[in-house]
Structure 1
Amino acid sequence: MYRYDDFDHGMVAARVDEFREQVERRLSGALTEDQFKPLRLMNGLYLQLHAYMYRIAVPYGTMSARQLRKLAHIARTYDRGYGHFTTRQNIQFNWIELKNAPDIMAELASVEMHSIQTSGNCIRNTTSDQYAGAAADEMTDPRPWAELLRQWSTFHPEFSYLPRKFKVAVIASAEDRAAMRLHDIGVEIVRNEAGELGFKVFVGGGMGRTPMVAPLIREFLPAANFISYLEACLRVYNRYGRRDNMFKARIKILVHEIGAAEYARQVEEEWAHVKTLGLDPPAEEFERIAVQFAPPPLDPEAPDELDLGDPDFRVWVDQNIVAHKAKGHAIVTISLKPIGGIPGDCSADQMDLIADLAERYSHDELRVTHAQNLVLPHVAKRDLYTIWQALDAAGLATPNLDLISDIIACPGLDYCALANARSIPVAQKIAERFSSLERQRDVGELKLKISGCINACGHHHAGHIGILGVDKKGEENYQLSFGGSGAEDASVAKIIGPGFSEDGVVDAVEKAVETYQALRDPGERFLDTYRRVGLQPFKEAIYG
């Protein structure tokens, strides 16, 4: 994984000193809250319902054991003993005192982490495939390109005050595990007919108030022009993106209003100038970055067989283990979705345990997924049973990857000042309703996602079943949507009809699942059946 150079260390240290002075001025009254707000937001500090929330960047979801132990320390020392992993592969702490924020930033800097640009109208944390560098189906490891984006975008003088926040994802396989086409810019690494490495570029995706799937604007971008072309994409947006209406300020609105073809034409015109400016780094600079993502020294003699005599272990392997590109190895997903738990929450003790497992069994590396779970990417199969035993003892061995209880949920009205309804209790009740693992596995892959407001931090638009909490005359009300996907078959879920109470939406989800089970053809997921038969059978079952 990438290690900071002298420039990185100096840059982050300077930001720590600057932020400490800003916080001191706020605490003394020299800065008003209105004056302080844009300063704290550019450093990932939000003012929520009950306390400050601190959002920490985990670039492209990759962490070391040392970094996770530091997050555990922060959870114990400055929070209430836990952290919340998010859909942007970050972590949030929900109970921060303002006076401690600079100390937290300094602690993060000591392990090459920061909170810079995790908020504000700038380029946010670049996300990627949680299996990058380990997946058998990838073209190449996408993380060096994501790291190049991080270095290009951090403190970029032209793009620090964009019309609205900006999100980029980079993948390198045909299977999209990062919801790439629901980003402002999505990049898929491909090869052309000549075998040359390059990129498909998608621009104008996003969720929120106006969900859209990003159209393809360039079929093949040569790898050497990666930065200059993205610079041109951002320049066109920065020039024409709306600043008079925050609800129409995202790049998806610009691309939609002028059309993808016209936007692409303007980007090409801008790029003709930008690529003469020397912005693309020399090949040796990319190699300097890429060499830090070299595969770990995996054991070529690691046995490929597993003893699956323990039935509970067998179920966990079947559900939570993914094939690794190297023989005798596996990718382990650690579910942060126990039945009745809060999706994405992880205690400090659990973080320490996972850090120990990553250090001992996964070459000191772990990943955060956009589905709010954690991953050990490089595990020898002979160690899986030992790992499972340790996870099981800590409540971390729930075998539910991609099942209905593997729910994405935002913090909702329990924490967030923007929310209209609670997300967490709904997620808990649905998971409890489907607590039978046998029942979940019979249902099969069903991605359920919950947001507490239209900002869609819970990705409800991309759910096979999506739930949106709204305020209806002072009461929490939940809209149900079907047919969304954040994968390579990306689509936006559609609202099925009138909303429900908290308990009513749980009942409605169960009726939807029962209808799917009655209608499905062999091998069909919920999403497949819905797309084949349409909404009407589901509406009849749910509304009567």
Structure 2
Amino acid sequence: MYKYNDFDEAFVRSRVEQFRNQVNRRIAGELTEEEFRPLRLMNGLYLQLHAYMLRVAIPYGTLNSRQMNQLAIIAEKFDKGYGHFTTRQNIQYNWPKLQDVPEILSALADVEMHALQTSGNTIRNVTADHFAGAAADEVEDPRPTAELLRQWSTDHPEFQFLPRKFKIAVSAGAADRAVVKAHDIGIQVVRNDAGETGYRVIVGGGLGRTPMIGKTIVEFLPKADLLPYVEAVVSVWNLLGRRDNKYKARIKITVHENGLDEIKRLVDERFALIRPTFSGVDQAMLRDIETHFAAPAYKNAPLDAFDDRLNSDPVFRSWVDTNVAAHKVDSYGILTISIKKHGETPGDATADQMRLMADLAEQYGHDELRISHEQNVIIPHVHKSDLPAIYDALKPAGLATANIGLISDIIACPGMDYCALATARSIPIAQEIAVRFDELKLEHEVGPLKIKISGCINACGHHHVGHIGILGLDRAGVENYQITLGGDGTEDAVVGDRTGPGFAAEDITDAIERIVRAYLDLRLNAEETFLQAYRRLGMDPFKAALYETEAKAHAAE
């Protein structure tokens, strides 16, 4: 993983001290909250419903054990003993005191971390495939590209006051695990017919109140052209983007209003102008960055004990089948640790849990951890012979739930429990759904099914691309939950279809159960997933089960 050089260290430290001075001025009353707001946002500090919230960057989701241990220390010393991992591969602390934030940022700097550009109208934390460097299907590790983009975008003088926030994701696998088509710019590492590695560039994706799937602006971009081309895209949008209406300020609206062809023409003009100014400096940077991402020294060990445990312990087998993905080295696996035990808050991890995951990564995982956009924690390189010991350590900590990709592996934003923008709760709904299907013992029978919940129209829970999406809204002071079906955040990305009228909080879990039971009745066989069944059958049979059954239930009352 990337290691700070002297410039990185000095830059981050100087920003910490700059913000320390700004915080002191705010506490002393020399800055009003209105004056302080843009300064705190530049350093990842929000003012939420009950307290400040600090959002810490985890670039492209990559951590080592030292960094994870430091996050645990911060959670205990400056918060309430836990942190919340987000769909942007970040971690949020929901209860820091303003006077403590500079000390938190200093502690982060001690382990080569920061909170820069995790908020505000700038280029946010660059995200990537959480299986990067380990996946069997990838063209190459996409993290050097993500790190190059991070260095280019950090404190870029032209892009600190954009029309709105701007998000970039990078993926390199045949399967898109980074939801690149729902980003302002999505980058896919590809090979052309000549075997050369380059990039497919996608623009204009995004969710929120106007969900749109991104459009390909260039099918194959040579690697040497990446930074000037991305800069050209952001420059064009920075000039054209709507500053008169923040709801229409994202690049997806700019592409929609001007048309992809016109945007491409303007980008090509700008690209031709700025490309010569890079003079190969970016490629020298990339070559240096790539040296930080060498594959670990994979070990050789017998698999007899692993095979014996797999054959003798059905609970362990279920965990392996569900939570361990194929690695590019046959004797290894990619382990996803579920931090979504039934009834717990999706994405929350206690300090003790963070420490345990750090220790396991250090002992068994070549000292690497990843945060997924699905709000779980990954040890990307695990020899299969070590999986029994890891499982035995995770189980008493509540981290051995075998539910990755299943109905209780729910993405949920913080909702109205924390967020000042939320119009409904997300966390209690996610907890109730997870507990319901655990009690019914149905989720393994149902199989792959992604539920995603947002507590407001900003869609931080990615509900638009959930197989079942849930959007919480305020209807005359009462929480109301709309349902969408058939969304998909993969390489076949599509926005889900709204079923119809929403449901009260006390009715939404029953509504989800009706949809799931309809799927079990309608599927061709156990191999047909919910998404496949929906694409084959369409909305009508699910809508009938959802609303006709509800009407009958009310009539019987």
Q: CA deviation at 1:530?
A: 1.1
Deviations 1:208-260 (A, max 9, x none): 01000001110100001110000000011001000000000000000111111
The alignment status of 1:28 with 2:7, answered yes or no, reads no
2:254 maps to 254
Q: CA deviation at 1:327?
A: 2.5
The alignment status of 1:535 with 2:535, answered yes or no, reads no
Deviations 1:295-321 (A, max 9, x none): 000014554862211111111001000
Q: CA deviation at 1:438?
A: 4.6
2:320 maps to 317
1:263 maps to 263
1:214 maps to 214
Q: CA deviation at 1:19?
A: 0.2
Mapping of residues 410-425 of structure 1, within 5 Å: 410-425=413-428
Could you tell me the TM-score, scaled by structure 2's length?
0.96
Look up the SS of the partner of 1:434 in the other structure: helix
The alignment status of 1:170 with 2:208, answered yes or no, reads no
- Aligned-partner Cα distance in 2 for 1:280–1:12: 26
2:394 maps to 391
- Aligned-partner Cα distance in 1 for 2:150–2:67: 18
Contact 1:302 1:329 in 2 (8 A): no
- Aligned-partner Cα distance in 1 for 2:32–2:185: 35
Mapping of residues 80-229 of structure 1, within 5 Å: 80-229=80-229
Deviates more, 1:62-71 or 1:307-316: 307-316
Contact 2:301 2:385 in 1 (8 A): no
The alignment status of 1:332 with 2:335, answered yes or no, reads yes
Code of the residue aligned with 2:543 in structure 1: it is K
Contact 2:52 2:97 in 1 (8 A): yes
Look up the SS of the partner of 2:503 in the other structure: coil
- Aligned-partner Cα distance in 1 for 2:282–2:51: 45
Q: CA deviation at 1:266?
A: 1.3
Contact 1:412 1:453 in 2 (8 A): yes
- Aligned-partner Cα distance in 2 for 1:165–1:506: 33
Look up the SS of the partner of 2:481 in the other structure: strand
- Aligned-partner Cα distance in 1 for 2:517–2:284: 57
Look up the SS of the partner of 2:277 in the other structure: coil
Q: CA deviation at 1:280?
A: 4.9
2:431 maps to 428
Choose which of 318, 342, 345 in structure 2 pairs with 1:342: 345
Contact 1:413 1:423 in 2 (8 A): yes
Contact 1:167 1:183 in 2 (8 A): yes
Contact 2:423 2:473 in 1 (8 A): yes
Look up the SS of the partner of 2:18 in the other structure: helix
Deviates more, 1:433-442 or 1:368-377: 433-442
- Aligned-partner Cα distance in 2 for 1:283–1:36: 38
Q: CA deviation at 1:529?
A: 1.0
- Aligned-partner Cα distance in 2 for 1:122–1:302: 50
- Aligned-partner Cα distance in 1 for 2:283–2:26: 45
- Give the 3 Å change call, closer, same or farther, for CA 473–467 of structure 1 in structure 2: same
- Aligned-partner Cα distance in 2 for 1:41–1:429: 33
The alignment status of 1:298 with 2:301, answered yes or no, reads no
- Aligned-partner Cα distance in 2 for 1:524–1:263: 40
Contact 1:79 1:96 in 2 (8 A): yes
The alignment status of 1:520 with 2:488, answered yes or no, reads no
Look up the SS of the partner of 2:118 in the other structure: coil
Structure 2: unaligned runs, 5 residues or longer: 549-557
Code of the residue aligned with 1:531 in structure 2: it is R
Mapping of residues 482-497 of structure 1, within 5 Å: 482-497=485-500
Contact 2:65 2:369 in 1 (8 A): yes
Look up the SS of the partner of 2:336 in the other structure: strand
The alignment status of 1:407 with 2:437, answered yes or no, reads no
- Aligned-partner Cα distance in 2 for 1:167–1:5: 25
- Aligned-partner Cα distance in 2 for 1:455–1:279: 40
Q: CA deviation at 1:503?
A: 2.0
Look up the SS of the partner of 1:469 in the other structure: strand
Code of the residue aligned with 2:227 in structure 1: it is I
Q: CA deviation at 1:274?
A: 1.2
- Aligned-partner Cα distance in 2 for 1:130–1:407: 17
Deviations 1:265-299 (A, max 9, x none): 21111111111212653543212100100000001
Q: CA deviation at 1:430?
A: 0.4
Look up the SS of the partner of 1:542 in the other structure: helix
The alignment status of 1:457 with 2:460, answered yes or no, reads yes
Deviates more, 1:306-315 or 1:181-190: 306-315
- Aligned-partner Cα distance in 2 for 1:438–1:489: 30
Contact 2:70 2:108 in 1 (8 A): yes
1:511 maps to 514
Q: What RMSD over aligned residues (CA atoms) do the two structures have, in Å?
A: 1.1
- Aligned-partner Cα distance in 1 for 2:5–2:133: 22
- Aligned-partner Cα distance in 1 for 2:282–2:546: 59
Q: CA deviation at 1:495?
A: 1.3
Code of the residue aligned with 1:535 in structure 2: it is M
Contact 1:87 1:457 in 2 (8 A): yes
Choose which of 379, 382, 386 in structure 1 pairs with 2:385: 382
Look up the SS of the partner of 1:276 in the other structure: helix
Deviations 1:449-479 (A, max 9, x none): 0000001011101100000000000111111
Deviations 1:37-59 (A, max 9, x none): 01001100000011100000000
Contact 1:228 1:280 in 2 (8 A): no
Code of the residue aligned with 1:529 in structure 2: it is A
Deviations 1:67-106 (A, max 9, x none): 0000000000000000000000000000010000000000
The alignment status of 1:371 with 2:352, answered yes or no, reads no
Code of the residue aligned with 2:33 in structure 1: it is E
1:3 maps to 3
- Aligned-partner Cα distance in 1 for 2:479–2:250: 28
- Aligned-partner Cα distance in 1 for 2:522–2:55: 43
Q: CA deviation at 1:481?
A: 0.7
Structure 1: unaligned runs, 5 residues or longer: none
Q: CA deviation at 1:493?
A: 1.1
Aligned length: 544
Identity rate of aligned residues, in percent? Answer: 59
